[in-house]
Amino acid sequence: MIIAIVSVIISFFLDGLLSNYFNFSLINPSIFKTIYTIVALVVVLPYFNNDRKYLYILFVTAILFDIVYTNTFILNIILFFIIYLLNKFLDFFMPHNLLNSNIRSILSLIVYYILSFSILNIVKYNEYSLSLLLNIITHSIIMTIIYTTILYFITKYLYEKFNIKQIR
Amino acid sequence: MLNTKRKKIPVKYIVIIIIVIIMILFGIFSYTLKEDRKLNVVESLIKDAVVGVQKVVYAPFNYIFNLFSDFQELEKIKEENDILKTSIDRNSAIETENIELRRQIEALKEELNIDYVLTDYEYLNATVISRNIGYWYNTLTIDKGSHNGIETDMVVVNSTGLIGKIISTTNFTSEVRLITTSDTNNKISVSITNGENKLNGLINGYDYENKTLEVEGISNTEEVAIGDKVYTSGLGGIFPSGILIGTVESINTDEYDLAKIINVKPSADFDDINYVSILKRKSDK
């Protein structure tokens, strides 16, 4: 469980840290931008046999994400939970391997961007065009694949080294 | 024998429950996503604590990054230095004129018995901690908060021009909303300066396709030229006057041919903001 928590914490801080070094904005999306926290939550999910423990981590992370990064309330808790449900659904079709982890991460990111885009447009927080959404999604794919692959191998290595099969 | 059969909830009830939950959530979202929502005490404490940890964690990375960027900038600095040397003489003349103008303003203020004019403000510098995670929010988090005297609606600029305004504060952090947000609730009053003429208009939003700000409210009979400078007008009570926003890039007319729609290229580079200054109008005291 500590490995999973550390992965999520590091990814959470990476979100803030890398936002300062890679120039990007809504106008100019960067190929180095992804949401590292979501990728980490997706990659560590298969190591949890006990969903309750995973959900604790997910909710705490989502609350912090809401408060620290987006200045919102509940929004990311709902979005992260929907991503969790999506991944549980994908469990039926996708065994745990590198390719599937990448597909899950990309799908989760797409769902996150589409839902946040839709909610913010519906409640008139902002009005953005679909072309912006597509631009952001396409720009996020490369870094999502890179980070998922790195995190997949690191977590797999650590879980095998410490002979942990699943978190109970 | 125990009856282990579970009662099945009819599908129509499930659908109704889901719809009600979605409606409640949207109700919550439309309330909590309001720009003027103040963070509660718990949220403020959590944010301050996490940002404090972030600053410690980021410090070594920032140090290394700054070393590299300083090294990269050395070449550029040499060129800039040569240009600056030539403009030093001109600066001293401008400074003398500035002192004289300030003296005149102070004398006029005293004569007219007013405490401040629209150009009066104080600077407070801050560093950007993180920015725009998730893209849509168009915000920056800076390392100064209410403890440093920052309040909502204060104006944020950098060396190149207007960046945005403060939308929320905690004790040690503040959230800055960029002017590139297409938010029609926050129109900024601007002046377009063309020689002797000074025209007032409103920024109506941001055009993401052309990467320009749209200024409306200027009659079609008025003269505006491409390249004219656009400044804040000071009207509206939030932004002080005289802060550079950008230059006129293109001019169109509205569908009735009555008013101009002016596209303004912002002077600030919104992709690369590391340090900002917060302006405090003297009337805020």
Residue B208 lies in a domain: yes
Q: Give residue-wise pLDDT tens across range A85-115.
A: 999 898 888 888 889 899 999 999 999 999 8
**Rounded to whole angstroms, how far apart are CA atoms B279 and B274?**
17
- The domain of B261 spans 188-266
Q: Which of A24, A67, A120 sits opposite B136 (nearest CB)?
A: A120
Write down the pLDDT at residue B120.
64
The CA distances from residue A139 to B69, B131, B139, B181, in Å, are 25, 17, 20, 20
Residue B213 lies in a domain: yes
Residue B232 lies in a domain: yes
Task: Count the domains in chain B.
Answer: 1
**What's the pTM?**
0.78
pLDDT mean over B117-130 = 76
Contact B268, B158 (CB under 8 A): yes
Q: Give residue-wise pLDDT tens across range A34-92.
A: 889 999 999 998 888 788 888 999 999 999 998 888 888 888 899 999 999 999 898 88
Q: Give residue-wise pLDDT tens across range B148-165.
A: 888 888 888 887 888 888
- Helix-then-strand count for chain A, H and E: 6, 0
Write down the pLDDT at residue B281.
62
Split at pLDDT 50, 70, 90, the class of A166 is low
- Kindly report the nearest CA distance between residue B169 and chain A, in angstroms: 10
Q: Which of A69, A113, A136 sits opposite B133 (nearest CB)?
A: A69
**Rounded to whole angstroms, how far apart are CA atoms B232 and B264?**
13
B62 contacts in A (CB within 8 Å)? 20
